[in-house]
Amino acid sequence: MLSPTQEHVEAFAHLLPQLSQAEPPTLAELTEITDNRATYVFVARQDGKIVGSLCLATFAIPTGLRAWIEDVVVDEAGRGKGIGAALIRHAVATATGLGAVSIDLTSRPTRVDANRLYQRLGFQPRETNVYRHVRSTE
| pLDDT tens by residue, 55-69 | 999 999 999 999 999
What is the C-alpha to C-alpha distance for residues 89 and 123, in angstroms, rounded to an integer?
A: 11
138 within some domain: no
What SS3 class is residue 42?
Answer: strand
Give the model confidence (pLDDT) of 74-96 as tens digits: 999 999 999 999 999 999 999 99
Average pLDDT score over residue span 30-48: 96
The total number of structural domains in the chain stands at 1
Handedness of CA 71, 122, 61, 59 (dihedral sign): negative
Q: What is the CATH number of the domain that holds 69?
A: 3.40.630.30
What is the extent of the structural domain holding 67? 6-120
CA 4 to chain centre: 16
Provide the β-strand partners of residue 105: 69
89 occurs within a structural domain: yes
